[in-house]
Amino acid sequence: MKLKIKQSKLMEHLNYVIKGVSTKNLIPILNCIKMDLTSDGLYLMSTDNEIAIKTFIPRQEIEEIVETGSIVVSGKYIYEIIRKMPNNLVNLEEVVDSKLYIYNDNSSFNLNCNNVNDFPDLNLDVSKNPICIDRRIFKNIINQTSFAASTQESRPVLTGINFKIENDVMECVATDSYRLSKKTIKLNCNVENLINIIIPTKNLNELVKLINDNEEDIEMHIFNNKVIFKFDNIIMMTTLINGTYPDTAKLIPTEFMLEVSLNLNELYTALDRASLLTNQDDKNTINLETFDDKIKISSNIPEIGNVEENIIVKKNNKENIKISFSSKYMMDALKAFTADDVIICFNGEVKPIIIKSSDNQDLIELILPIRTY
């Protein structure tokens, strides 16, 4: 393998594949990046066995391809070396004793390489009928749901986001069993068979970081045990989580005792202040009480002091409620909305609280109240 390439171009693609390089894996080959130089261009690949990332630099974006070939080299070292090279041309060449020689006029590095055959043989072939989704919508789905997924490995299915696709409707749900986020979108295509899969949340969060903003769709290729996402010249594969996702449809009420609509930012900043006087050990419990035209949010830490926040609201009837919940969970839920106003729906002090936007019903956030007496 021997080529000459702009440092900035190689860096752009190393920035993608480095996210697939394992940082704490004890298997050295999983800390590596594989480079495949063909007459078409340069493929870069990384995997930690749960995800794989592959990018492609076409030959016209490479200054000179002298000799094709493959090498496998430490991801961390090649990434840092290229990052610190000047923004200019850089040469990469496989030399005797399976070393990678990286050089320009003033700098030269020799990096020991691993055996190319030891690198996992990944099948990253895509399917013929991907589901195509606007990339901004796709990023929104992940950002508006992922925070509600569980981080506890005790129930593995809850550490993922459930994607359910029926005809042209895709429902994405995340829950840690104390709160739930559900986003529904309409696809441009119809799927033939019902799809119901669980994708690891942490892999989706990594994926979102890889997706640049542009107009093009992201392709979702669904297989039995994996999903492949394809966009620009990048392929990202993630394994799926085995198991059955809980049926969450019946948990979400559609009729309410009381609906309160109010300004999102006013509510968020009031919760942010009031949560200063809550305890993390105590789940950041905060109290909310409704009155005719306002709500009162209050909390206290006896040794420190107390706080009371008042917000003007509109109610859909004369009912009132006193309820307690985690201010952190409520703030996480509110961050998922972009509308000016939100509607908070109650069915009683021990029943789930639902948060919706006043604009549309695509996104539903649910949090369970906390019994305080």
Interacting residues toward its own copies by CB under 8 A: 74, 77, 80-81, 84-86, 99-100, 106-112, 269-270, 272-273, 276-277, 303-311
Query: Cβ distance 364 to 356 under 8 Å?
Result: yes
Query: Cβ distance 198 to 245 under 8 Å?
Result: yes
**18 vs 133, which CB is nearer to its own copies?**
18
- Least distance CB 74 / its own copies (angstroms): 7
**249 vs 276, which CB is nearer to its own copies?**
276
**270 vs 364, which CB is nearer to its own copies?**
270
- Least distance CB 7 / its own copies (angstroms): 12
Query: Cβ distance 344 to 281 under 8 Å?
Result: no
- Least distance CB 271 / its own copies (angstroms): 10
**116 vs 311, which CB is nearer to its own copies?**
311
Amino acid at 281: D
- Least distance CB 269 / its own copies (angstroms): 7
The residue to which tokens 């009381």 are assigned: 258
Length of the chain measured in residues: 373
**15 vs 269, which CB is nearer to its own copies?**
269
**142 vs 313, which CB is nearer to its own copies?**
313
- Least distance CB 309 / its own copies (angstroms): 5
Q: Please state, in angstroms and rounded to a whole number, the distance separating the CA atoms of residues 55 and 224.
A: 23
| DSSP label of 205 | H
Distances (CA, A) of 77 to 21, 32, 37, 114: 11, 9, 19, 13
- Least distance CB 255 / its own copies (angstroms): 31
**288 vs 345, which CB is nearer to its own copies?**
288
- Least distance CB 302 / its own copies (angstroms): 9
- Least distance CB 308 / its own copies (angstroms): 5
Query: Cβ distance 198 to 243 under 8 Å?
Result: yes
- Least distance CB 91 / its own copies (angstroms): 14
Q: What phi and psi values does residue 12 have, to the nearest 5 degrees? A: -50, -45
Tokens of 179: 């709160």
- Least distance CB 337 / its own copies (angstroms): 20
**222 vs 307, which CB is nearer to its own copies?**
307
Contacts of 203 (CB under 8 A, 6+ apart): 50, 51, 238, 239
Q: Please state, in angstroms and rounded to a whole number, the distance separating the CA atoms of residues 85 and 208.
A: 28
Q: Please state, in angstroms and rounded to a whole number, the distance separating the CA atoms of residues 98 and 95.
A: 6
| DSSP label of 336 | T
**110 vs 127, which CB is nearer to its own copies?**
110
Radius of gyration of the chain (CA): 25
With left for phi above 0 and alpha for psi between -120 and 50, is residue 19 left, alpha or beta? alpha
**151 vs 302, which CB is nearer to its own copies?**
302
Task: List strand residue ranges (DSSP E) for 232-340, in order.
Answer: 234-239, 258-263, 285-290, 294-301, 305-312, 314-315, 322-326
Cα atoms in the Cβ-side hemisphere of radius 13 Å centred on 342:
24
